[in-house]
Amino acid sequence: MADGSWLSGRRRESWLSYLGAHTLVERVVERHLHDNAGVSHAEYEILSRLRAAGGRLRMGELASVVFSPGSRLNYRVTRLAGLGLVRREQHPVDRRGLYAVLTPEGTRFLDQVQPGYAEAARRAVGALTEEEFLELGRLSEKVFRALCDDSRSEVADSGAEGSGGQPGEH
pLDDT, tens digit (0-9, with 9 covering 90-100), for 107-127: 999 999 999 999 999 999 999
Taken as a whole, the chain contains a residue count of 170
The backbone torsions φ and ψ at residue 90, rounded to the nearest 5 degrees and listed phi first, read -80, 145
Q: Name the DSSP class of 96.
A: T
Distance CA 16, CA 22 (A): 10
Distance CA 86, CA 66 (A): 16
pLDDT at 167: 44
Helix 104-124 and helix 9-37: axis angle, to 10°? 140
- We find that the CATH architecture of domain 11-157 is Orthogonal Bundle (1.10)
Average pLDDT taken over every residue of the chain: 88
The backbone torsions φ and ψ at residue 98, rounded to the nearest 5 degrees and listed phi first, read -120, 145
2 pLDDT more than 80: no
Domain residue limits, the chain = 11-157
95 pLDDT more than 90: no
* Cβ contact 33:113 at 8 Å: yes
pLDDT at 53: 96
Distance CA 53, CA 48 (A): 9
Task: Look at 17-26, 95-104, 139-148, 149-158 and tell me which has the smallest mean pLDDT.
Answer: 149-158
Separation in Å, CA 100 to CA 11, 31, 51, 61: 42, 25, 11, 10
